[in-house]
Amino acid sequence: MSQQPKGWKEISIAGVCWKPATDYHTGDWRSFKPVRDPKKCTKCLLCHIVCPDAAIQWNKETQDIEFNYDFCKGCGICANECGAKAIVMVQEGGE
């Protein structure tokens, strides 16, 4: 799937970056996965502002919190911080 890296004639000068970091998925670093219990969740959104990876976002349309597992590294901060104890960390690869 990896593309052939570009040659020096094809890229801009000075190392100006031309790909958004969001094209790079860090989710596969994860060994534990946060799982949210929507029934317990108060949608206080604290998890949004404590996530180092901007992986927890508010979906305006569904009016709900979304975890983006493409980026979540499984640090567990959200679970630790959640006042409602609505998030648990589950080992990846388990059931």
Residue 46 CA to residue 56 CA, distance in Å, equals 10
Least separation in angstroms between CB 34 and another protein: 10
Cα–Cα distances in angstroms (integers) from residue 3 to residues 6, 22, 89, in the given order: 9, 17, 34
Question: Is residue 54 at the binding interface for another protein, with CB under 8 A as the rule?
Answer: yes
Q: Which of 33, 36, 67, 71 binds another protein (CB under 8 A)?
A: 71
Question: Is residue 88 at the binding interface for another protein, with CB under 8 A as the rule?
Answer: no
Least separation in angstroms between CB 28 and another protein: 12
